Homo-oligomer: A and B are copies of this chain.
Amino acid sequence: MSLNSYGHVFRVTTWGESHGPALGATVDGCPPGAALSEADIQVWLDRRKPGQNKYTTQRREADEVRILSGVFEGKTTGTPIQLMIENTDQRSKDYGDIAEKFRPGHADITYWQKYGIRDYRGGGRSSARETAARVAAGGVARAALAQLVPGLRVTGYMVGMGEKDIDRTRFDWDEIERNPFWVPDAVAAEEWAGYLDGLRKSGSSVGAMIEVSVRGCPAGLGAPVYAKLDTDLAAAMMSINAVKGVEIGEGMAAARLTGEANADEIRMGPDGPIYSSNHSGGILGGISTGQDVVVRFAVKPTSSILTPRKTITKSGEETEIITKGRHDPCVGIRAVPVAEAMAAAVVLDHLLLDRAQTGGVRGPIG
């Protein structure tokens, strides 16, 4: 069963805890012949790495990935690829408080209730540190995509932070790489810097809204009716720590529209169908249309804040807790590279799945 795995054909199993010796991803089903080196993966891990600026946790991790199997002479062989990242900053400290008290909004209490045992050090398996393994696996997915669909680009970016939204009239793909928030709006980037600094200093935290676009996605990907492309993207995003909502294209706002307002009319372009708009987010009936695939999700504010919150201990005593330590004022920032990685894995998975289903056969138009 898929407890710690995702994907139908491109199948990733992540493993490891926040403060164990290492964590990583076992990647099965990657096609043979794709060029892949540790550097190809490291570049994505470096984007997610903590401690790079004052807006993210000050935990220091090299996050150096090692490929232990599945690659020979610089190419994937079709056998399982094992990616390992050693934990280096396992700061020796007293976990007594967290070992006994459940932090509100964390998985402490539910892991305890479910398993009757939990690795409380840094959240154990429930820590967002697990997402490093996802980013590494996403690097493999990108390598395979580069071989199979050269023009395809998977790009994540923030579109909201707390009460602040981007202005889509200023949307600039190139701006994404220029600021610490991966926000495609230079004005917002500057404004958000001050806003988040204030939150950080006050020991508070704030939620975030993130969007991922897949440009150059071929039509025909998605397996109705329970492995739809949107279903799998929704599951992938919802599986990321602290995510509370996911939407495709028009998303939740579609509930308020009429059929006339929501329709994407179809015209014939030189290379196939073109659409007057993209309310659908590039997916109809669970299958990609050839337009940009657009998925968006909300990350809740981290519960690790300096304001004391009421809680209980394992023995049922009522108490209060303050979560000190090295936490992110906006954990959503670091969710951007994670979401990109998940989207890349889903798209590759559906490319491979479609080969199995249809062999790439397509109904011609025109």
Contacts and interface: CB of A to CB of B under 8 A. Distances in A.
Interface in A204-242: 204-209, 219-228, 230-232, 234-235, 238-239, 241
Interface string A151-171: 000000000111100000000
A178 interface: no
Given A82-B24, A244-B281, A352-B356, A114 B222 contact: yes
Interface in A13-36: 13-17, 20-24, 26, 28-29, 31-33
Interface size classification for chain A = 35 or more
A298 B356 contact: no
Contact of A245 (B14, B204, B245): B245
A109 B160 contact: no
Contact of A286 (B107, B220, B263): B107
Contacts of A111: 224, 285, 287
A184 to B, nearest CB: 17
A106 to B, nearest CB: 7
The quantity of this chain's copies bound in the complex is: 4
B15 A68 contact: yes
A191 to B, nearest CB: 16
Given A226-B6, A266-B310, A358 B251 contact: no
Interface in A95-131: 102, 104-107, 109-119, 124-126, 130
Given A80-B13, A244-B250, A257 B309 contact: no
Nearest to A355: B355
A244 B251 contact: yes
Contact of A361 (B24, B32, B231): B32
A66 interface: yes
Given A1-B29, A226-B3, A363-B115, A110 B68 contact: no
Contacts of A300: 250, 254-255, 257, 262, 279
A234 B238 contact: yes
B126 A224 contact: yes
A343 interface: no
Contacts of A263: 104-105, 303, 305, 309
A187 interface: no
Given A113-B362, A247-B245, A199 B255 contact: no
Contacts of A358: 31-32, 78, 114-116
B316 A366 contact: yes
Interface in A68-85: 68-70, 72, 75, 77-82, 84
A264 interface: yes
18 contacts: A1-B8, A1-B356, A2-B8, A6-B226, A9-B356, A15-B68, A16-B68, A17-B79, A20-B68, A23-B68, A32-B115, A32-B361, A72-B124, A102-B266, A107-B285, A117-B363, A245-B246, A268-B312
Closest 7 CB pairs of A and B: A107-B285, A316-B366, A245-B247, A110-B287, A205-B259, A356-B356, A15-B80
